[in-house]
Amino acid sequence: MNNHLFWLKFGLFSVGLGQSFAFVLVPPLARDLGLSEIQTSTIFAISAVAWAITSASWGRASDNFGRRNIAVIGLIGYSISIIALITPLFLVEQNLLAFVYLFPSLILGRLINGLIGSATRPASFAYLADITPPEKRTVKFARMESSFLAGTVLGPLIGGFLFLFSQSLPFYLFAACALTAALQLYLKMPNTKVTTEIANKINTISFRDANVWPFLFFAALISFCQASLLQSIGFYITDIFSDLPDLPLIISICFAILSISTIISQYLFTDLFGLDNSKLLKYGILIVLISYLFAAYSSSIAIFYFAIILNGIGSGMIRPANASALSLAQSPENQGSAAGYLGSVIPIGHMLTPVVAMPIYQIDPTYLYIFSAILCFIAAIFIIINPTMKSVKLLENE
């Protein structure tokens, strides 16, 4: 592996560390301090709005100013945001900051991630598309995604261990990892960009184009299901399985097995068996649909864990396949814009969770997972009937 590719993956790994631990720790801690489920979700939603607005622009910026520069900016922004997010929680807990400032402070900390941290992902995947032949793109995208997911596995485990010694230590360490990756990328990664000759020939793509919007619509549906699951796991386990001991540990394990099953799925179905994008999307959405039904009707934590494993397997098939199919449908000079558009819809789920998912959850926790299963059914029908999604397999041979 090229040295700079290692640091690019390590940067995404570092982001995964902090993101997953924040999802594990922030919701329960914020609720203990007096914030509601909707307020907690709103913190992530506002960041997601900023992410959605800026991601496409960062993708285009990587065309003009270089993949390396934009990836580095994103990692620095993420490092600042993870510290700014967690510090107010500890200050309020120690009565060093008035409670009235907690909610806006958390919004500000997370907003930095949405505005600046959103730069890393589109720049990274655009660079990977630049240097990868079409026939290997699904595998390479899956491996890049696995770097982030490996961080989400280890985040709760490493963070939970370090949390025993110091509540702030995990977040400072995760921020330091991202800053280290940023420095190494700046020193070692070539700052590739779209050349002037190619730029003059660019036929700028729009999110409304027939070879773009179907992939974005599909990603948006999956984004909502995934975001509502991530933000509800802690609440769901606490509310449904409240009689179990060591709930924080059970919640952390749940996030870990979700990420582990996703990584294993990506290896099995993209590397080992090498399924084409069409099969990955169809089989993956069916497995995710079934997982939400199991989650909704789980009568024990073991069944809920099984549902989470199924969800990870299906997600591991869907995410790289959709990203790869979108990339393959675009010309080389539009890879940055395509990655940016995809990055802009991924946060949609976090935007909608406080206004759609959490109100459904408050009516009945199981209703949320039934609703997600219905959305997956709609996504499955869309794959079957939409002409562009039906031709995904053909894109790989062009």
pLDDT in tens, 293-338: 999 999 899 999 999 999 999 999 998 888 888 888 887 778 778 8
Given a cut of 90, is residue 227 above it in pLDDT? no
Given a cut of 80, is residue 263 above it in pLDDT? yes
| Torsion, Cα of 98, 165, 26, 85 (10° steps) | 60
CB-based contacts of 195, cutoff 8 Å, min separation 6? none
**CATH number of the domain bearing residue 342:** 1.20.1250.20
pTM for the full model? 0.76
Residue 139 tokens, joined = 């595998």
Q: What residue numbers bound the domain in which 68 lies?
A: 3-190+207-395
Is the separation of the CB atoms in 365 and 232 below 8 Å?
A: yes
Give the separation between CA 350 and CA 179, rounded to whole angstroms: 26
**pLDDT recorded at residue 194:** 65
Q: Is residue 201 part of a domain?
A: no
Given a cut of 60, is residue 203 above it in pLDDT? no
What is the domain count for the chain?
1
Give the separation between CA 77 and CA 64, rounded to whole angstroms: 20
pLDDT in tens, 45-91: 788 888 888 988 998 898 889 999 999 999 999 999 999 988 888 88
Is the separation of the CB atoms in 40 and 30 below 8 Å?
A: yes
Q: Which of 149-158, 216-225, 272-281 ranks highest by mean pLDDT?
A: 216-225
Q: Is residue 196 part of a domain?
A: no
Give the separation between CA 390 and CA 387, rounded to whole angstroms: 5
Q: Which residue has the higher pLDDT, 198 or 244?
A: 244
Q: Is residue 197 part of a domain?
A: no
Is the separation of the CB atoms in 252 and 160 below 8 Å?
A: yes
Task: Give the percent of the chain with pLDDT over 90.
Answer: 35
Is the separation of the CB atoms in 284 and 237 below 8 Å?
A: no
CA 196 to each of CA 199, 206, 322, 332: distance values in angstroms, whole numbers, following the listed order = 5, 21, 29, 14
Query: Closest Cα to residue 341, out of 236, 244, 240, 205?
Result: 205
> Buried b vs exposed e over 188-223: b needs ≥16 C-beta within 10 Å?
ebebebbeeeeeeeeeebebebebbbbbbbbbbbbb
CB-based contacts of 188, cutoff 8 Å, min separation 6? 3, 4, 7
Is residue 5 helix, strand or coil? helix
pLDDT level of residue 195 (50, 70, 90 thresholds): low
Q: Is residue 21 part of a domain?
A: yes
